Amino acid sequence: MKKTLIIGASPNPSRYAYKAAHMLKRFNHDIINIGIKKGEVAGVNIELPQQIHDDIDTITLYIGPALQNQYHDYILATKPKRVIFNPGTENYHLEKLLDQNGIEVEVACTLVLLSTGQY
């Protein structure tokens, strides 16, 4: 299973990050929720982006490009194998930075990848 860090986690059931957290857990992936809202999602507390997790396979983004700048160093320090840019999170600058650091970039929808067995 692929340990996944969700950036933009939200306790709001109408948010796609919330839906992705529950689907990831349903598919037996361990998750770490990173966000600014307090609470928990899919039984996992939402953390601030302070602790560097060194065992992450995938980061899935649910924040827009305007907010991503403050996460660049955090993402690079985490050293994931890949970063998924969900719809609306595409960011050429960050994609290029990740590619230069040997991190796979995938522009896709986490929910679709999971439901089609491509995750």
3-13: pLDDT as tens digits: 999 999 999 99
Provide, rounded to the nearest whole percent, the portion of the chain with pLDDT above 70: 100
Give the model's pLDDT for residue 55: 95
Q: Name the DSSP letter for residue 71.
A: G
Residue-wise pLDDT tens digits, 85-113? 999 999 999 999 999 999 999 999 999 99
Please state, in angstroms and as integers, the Cα–Cα distance from residue 86 to each residue in 25, 35, 51, 105, following that order. Answer: 18, 16, 23, 11
For 55, other C-beta atoms within 10 Å of its C-beta total: 11
Task: Classify domain 4-115 at the CATH class level.
Answer: alpha beta
4 and 53 Cβ atoms separated by less than 8 Å: no
Rounded distance between C-alpha atoms, residue 42 and residue 72, angstroms = 26
Handedness of CA 73, 92, 29, 14 (dihedral sign): positive
**pLDDT 10s digits, 23-70:** 999 999 999 999 998 999 999 999 999 999 999 999 999 999 999 999
